[in-house]
Structure 1
Amino acid sequence: MSIYLSNYWTLYKEFVETFHHLKYKGIPIVLLTNFYQQIDSELRSQMESESFLVNLKTQRLDQAMIQPYFENWLEKIRDPLIKKPKEGKVLINPDYTRIPERTYMNMFDPKQTIILSRSKATQMYGIPIESVGNYEEKNDEASDEIVKEATTIFEKFNQHPAFGNVFFQKSFINRITQIVTMINMVFNLFDKKNISSIIVGTTEDIQSRVLSIVGLTKGIKSICLQHGILMGEEAFMPVFTTVVGVYGEYEKNWYSNRGLANDRIAEIGHPKFDEIYHQSPIDKATFIKKYELDPNKLTLLVITGPQLDFVKFEILIKSIMDNQNYQIILKPHPWEIGKKKHGIYLKLAEKYKSLKVYTARDNNLYDLISQVDGVVSSLSTVVLESILFNKPVFVFNFLNSNRFYDYFDILGNYIQSNPNRLTEVINNHYISRLHENAYNNIRNRFLSMSYNDGRSSEKLANLINHYCK
């Protein structure tokens, strides 16, 4: 565990123990706020130092005790009188679940399923929608009282590195009213609808977390699907649902190492990857024409992401483009497009005629992967998807980060932090059968540890039927 993460979990523990008595309907507010979003760049910088712990009073929270520590707090709000799972319908909070239409249509009975949404629509894929707005209820008096108590506590810690941080204070206080409103919404929903199980795509957001924790108080089982590769530990831990669905062996071991019991880790892969096995991609000629490509060149799809070392990235692109056999389709990360951080890529397209930047928001990723000759990607779920598509992948580890990521280390030479070395790997792959065969062995080994086999939707349905009912 990195210095930052060690300090993060210890600070989180101190936060819980300092503010745990701030409750609404018996639920500690500290369990419902997204803690890492309260940390600004200034505090984050301080937390990257080993000396940060000197400022804290609580004992270090070791990696293996992360889930057990939070489990103790969750156990306090569990109703001991509820022994049997509640009978009722499956409630899906679709945000971040990334469940495809095919799965909704084939695996969920509209008579036994509810979708929770802010949409004004009455159904999605034939499944009835319950609007969040119909159940929301503010309680300004309670919110104001909790805000007042929180403010009083913060005033006692003005020298504390986090509790004395203005951004940290405001972030927590500003979301208290939203948390109270959301707790009311979920209690109202559960009082009016019989729910047996809940499916969420993350518990980072308040709505999914409240659904899971309030569900816990009522004996309702919950499942959290894995919404992406395990890049940010803070986004996946602690676990607030009854069970987590994971992509493969790496994830199973990852959660186990952080103290989650093995019987709460479901080996299902993810339904979104089933589409790779069922989709009908566009034909090659149409693809070449649509993206105005040279049919005589090898096409590489380059996938970017936030927090890249752009100096290394530009060296990589130049090194690839020096080889006239390649052409590139560069697809910036949606976050980069939304935040208008993709200008550097547009400048590269002006410099290299064989490089095209694709910024359209249409969902064409699988069309792109299915037709290109290889994928050059940052540490991303796209790497996994490309492997499932049986495409060669070349991973650049150019992240500016306060931790190490080993998710794709099994790829060996096919993941590099040196741009020139990665270009050598790319070139060798396309000119040497020996290197190509070596990659195929790596790919097969990677897939042997993945639960994504085109049957994840079926596995999810079985998990709901046998575990949550």
Structure 2
Amino acid sequence: MNTLTRNYWSLYMDFLNDFENLKYDGYSISYLFCNFYSQVSKNPALWKQLSSEKFHKHLRSQVNEHKEIQEVFDQFMAQHRRKLQVKKENGLVAFHNDKLLRISRPTILKYFHPSRTIMLQANIRRPNQIKKRSNKKKGSNKVNLSSGNHIKKIKPPKQTVSSTQSQQNLNTDYLSDYSINTKKAVVHLQNRAREIFAAHKNHPLYQNKSFQLYFLNMIAAIVERIEQAKHFLSERPISCVIVSTTHSYINRILAVVAATKGIPSICMQHGIIASEFGYIPKIATIDAVYGNYEVKWYNQLGVPRSSIEIIGHPRFDQAFGRLTTKRSQFNRRLGLNNNKRTLLIVIRNNEDINRWRKLIQTIKKLNLNIIIKNYPSKKPHKLTKEFSFVQSTADYSIYDIFPHVDTVISYTSTVALEASIANKPVFILNRNFDGYSGYFQALGQLVKSDPKQLGEVIMKYFTDSEFKAYASRKRQKFLRIAYPDMSNSGQRLKRSVARLTRK
């Protein structure tokens, strides 16, 4: 651990301990609050202090190893976990269909029978079908810092649903249909939280008014979701819950409440572990990971191997699908030269645009087709206007693009893993951000922080056959670590669910 990460996790431990007794129905609110990193990182003054060796003097906790955080969450889960129930044959597998699940309707229908599957959504209410659980009008729980008066301030993070994941032929249920009036309990908890803030007036995080307001409003959201999860899991014959990440408070609540009812949960891996802050702690019964990298990473946290399964992700199965368009059609639509090799660059909006500009300037002499995938925007990237020989990927998805390119260059992104699975050589423009896990280290010289150096490595790949062979070996080595099982991930997920829910 470096100084920043040690201080960050020590600060987090303080938060867990200081608010541990702030409970609703036996559930500690601080353990269900999942936006700690975002609240700390968006406070520039506090984030800067974390790099100071003296910062620990402001804290009561001292975390020296990542496993210490996992250990306290293991204890938390042990308090709530009940013996797994013997499931009925007609038990339902519930997929929480948030924007990070990324398992398409056809995939779910292919491996899970519609009559034994339910798609769970969070915020969409069906008109005239809302269940009545209280004869009292449900009031707003949003508060200001001094009283229970309602104000229109910071909203809890909105959980959206992907419009591409149609629920046709699949049963759909809505957490919002299981709401009850929790206003009285929320006001009590918010007042208790204010008392805790007052008792820690000089704390580097709690004294921040924005954090106080955000946390008070999140108390209302967490309490509401606890009740919704409890009623949903009591009234539906659920045999297994599948979530995209337990670093979303709704998903974490679903996994924890499911555990209290003896219902197993599977947490899919929604992206590569580029930063440790988004993957510690582990919460679900099983974490479905991509490969050996995650197995080793979680093992270092003290997580039992039995609770980690290499399942990959069903969306990666697209890498082995049929071509949706011919290369000639692809080239014609994007204005590419059929006689040139094509290089795909994946850029996240305008992040590091100066480094990407320098990279393009370095490799332009190779006389390649160069296309840019602008993520997450669908608009042409700014650099396609600066360089006349660089084209946009238009509205093509990455799995429509991969078959028609020769090389992929990316930032530290899941797209780089997906390109490797699709048998494409990958180069990484690296950036050593706080909490970076070193995920792409196995790629050796194919990873560079300096754009000019990376450009020179790419030119060497296209001009030196021996280096091309080196790149191929490195990709294969990387995949043995990152994604060793190329069999159908949807089928592996189905087997894991069957194992957890069999009689």
> Comparing 243-252 with 99-108, which one deviates more in the overlay?
99-108
C-alpha contact (below 8 Å) 2:275/2:435 kept by paired residues: no
User: Whole-Å Cα distance in 2 between the matches of residues 468 and 3 of structure 1?
Assistant: 44
Equivalence for 1:327: 369
2:311 to 255, 268, 288: 268
Deviates more, 1:83-92 or 1:199-208: 83-92
Matches within 5 A, 1:359-398: 362=395, 364-398=397-431
| Counterpart mapping for 1:88-103 below 5 A | 88-95=91-98, 96-103=100-107
* Cα distance in structure 2, aligned partners of 1:451 and 1:168: 42
Distance 1:288 1:376 in 2: 19
- Over the matched positions of the two proteins, sequence identity in percent amounts to 32
* Post-superposition offset of 1:194: 1.1
In the other structure, the counterpart of 2:32 is 32
Q: Which amino acid aligns with 1:54?
A: K
Query: Which one of 95, 99, 104 corresponds to residue 108 of structure 2?
Result: 104
Counterpart in the other structure of 2:328: 285
Distance 2:396 2:19 in 1: 43
Query: How far has the Cα of 1:332 moved from its partner?
Result: 2.0
Would you say the 8 A contact 2:366–2:459 is kept in 1?
Answer: no
Say if 1:212 and 1:240, in contact at 8 Å, map to a contact too. yes
2:247 aligns with: 204
Residue in 1 aligned with 2:157? none
Alignment of 1:415 with 2:458, yes or no, is: no
Between 1:184-193 and 1:305-314, the stretch displaced more is 305-314
Question: Are the counterparts in 2 of residues 222 and 242 from structure 1 also a CA contact under 8 Å?
Answer: yes
**What code does the residue aligned with 2:105 have?**
E
Kept after mapping to 1: 8 A contact 2:355/2:451 = yes
Alpha-carbon distance change, 306 to 10 in structure 1, aligned in 2, over 3 angstroms = farther
Q: 1:42 to 1:411 in 2, by over 3 A?
A: same
> Which of 296, 311, 317 is the aligned partner of 2:354?
311
Contact residue 276 and residue 437 of structure 2 kept, 8 A: no
Tell me how far 1:125 sits from its aligned partner: 4.3
1:18 aligns with 18
Q: What's the CA shift for 1:129?
A: 0.4
> Equivalents in 1 of 2:207, 2:111: separation in Å?
50
Rate the CA distance shift 1:452–1:381 in 2: closer, same or farther, 3 A.
farther
Contact 1:90/1:196, CA 8 A, preserved across alignment: yes
Matched, 1:54 2:57: yes
* Distance apart, 1:305 and its partner CA: 2.7
CA distance in 2, matches of 1:389, 1:167: 44
Q: Does the 8 A contact of 2:125 with 2:177 survive in 1?
A: no
* Contact 2:105 2:167 (8 Å CA) reproduced: no
Match of 1:181 in 2: 224
State the match for 1:74 in structure 2: 77
Which residue identity lines up with residue 350 of structure 1 in the other structure?
A: K
CA deviation after TM superposition for structure 1 residue 468, in Å: 3.6
* Residue aligning to 2:493: 460
Alignment of 1:208-219 (within 5 A): 208-219=251-262
Counterpart CA distance in 2 for 1:349 and 1:310 is: 12
CA contact (8 A) 1:23 1:29 kept: yes
The counterpart of 1:426, out of the listed 449, 453, 458, is 458
> Which amino acid letter does the alignment assign opposite residue 289 of structure 1?
R
Between the aligned partners of 1:154 and 1:306, the Cα distance in structure 2 is 38
What is the aligned partner in structure 1 of residue 391 from structure 2? 356
Residues 1:306 and 1:159: Cα distance change in structure 2 (over 3 Å): farther
Aligned residues of 1:37 and 1:171 also touching (Cα < 8 A): no
Runs of at least 5 residues in structure 2 that lack an aligned partner in the other structure: 130-165
Q: Secondary structure at the match of 2:171?
A: strand
Q: Which residue of 1 aligns with 2:208?
A: 165
* 8 A contact 2:325–2:400 mirrored in 1: yes
Q: Deviations over 1:330-349 (max 9, x none)?
A: 12221xx39xxx89x41x32
2: distance between equivalents of 1:306 and 1:245? 29
The AA in structure 1 aligned to 2:307 is R
Counterpart-to-counterpart distance in 1, 2:2 and 2:173:
42
Q: CA RMSD in A?
A: 2.1
Find the aligned partners of 2:407 and 2:168 in 1 and give their Cα distance: 34
User: CA, structure 1 residues 252+66, in 2 after alignment: closer, same or farther (shift >3 Å)?
Assistant: same
SS at match of 1:224: strand
Counterpart for residue 447 of structure 1: 479
The structural deviation recorded for 1:464 is 0.5
Question: Quick one: distance in 1 between partners of 2:471 and 2:182?
Answer: 59
**Aligned-partner residue type, residue 368 of structure 2:** Y
**C-alpha distance after superposition, 1:193-219 (max 9, x if no partner):** 011110001112221111001011111
- Tell me the CA shift for residue 119 of structure 1: 4.5
Structure 1 counterpart of 2:480, one-letter code: S
Whichever structure has more helix as a proportion of its residues is 1
Q: Are 1:304 and 1:331, in contact at CA under 8 Å, matched by a contact in 2?
A: yes
C-alpha change, 1:263 and 1:324, in structure 2 (3 Å) is: closer
Cα gap change, 1:179 to 1:148, in 2 (>3 Å): same
Shift of 1:297: 2.5
CA contact (8 A) 2:186 2:223 kept: yes
Deviation at 1:408, TM superposition (A): 0.7
Out of 36, 41, 45, the residue aligned to residue 44 of structure 2 is 41
Q: For residues 247 and 63 of structure 2, what CA distance do their matches in structure 1 show?
A: 23
Is the 8 Å Cα contact of residues 99 and 271 (structure 1) preserved in structure 2? yes
Q: Aligned partners of 2:477 and 2:63: how far apart in 1?
A: 37
Question: 5+ unaligned residues in a row in structure 1: which ranges?
Answer: none
How far 1:363 moved relative to its partner? 5.8
For residues 205-264 of structure 1, the C-alpha deviation after alignment (integer angstroms, 9 at most, x for no partner) is 221111001011111100000000002222211112111011011111111111211111
- For residue 106 of structure 1, what is the amino acid of its counterpart? K
Instruction: Check conservation: 1:90, 1:112, Cα contact below 8 A.
Output: yes
Note if contact 2:344-2:372 (Cα within 8 Å) is conserved in structure 1: yes
Query: Aligned partners of 1:403, 1:267: CA distance in 2, in Å?
Result: 23
Distance 1:61 1:189 in 2: 39
Cα gap change, 1:403 to 1:83, in 2 (>3 Å): closer
Find 2:238's aligned residue among 195, 204, 224: 195
Q: Which amino acid aligns with 2:387?
A: Y
Q: Is the 8 A contact 1:90 1:197 kept in 2?
A: yes
CA 1:85/1:72 → structure 2, altered by over 3 Å: closer, same or farther? farther
Tell me the distance in 2 between the aligned counterparts of 1:103 and 1:357: 29
| 1:83 Cα deviation from its structure 2 partner | 5.2
CA distance in 1, matches of 2:349, 2:321: 31
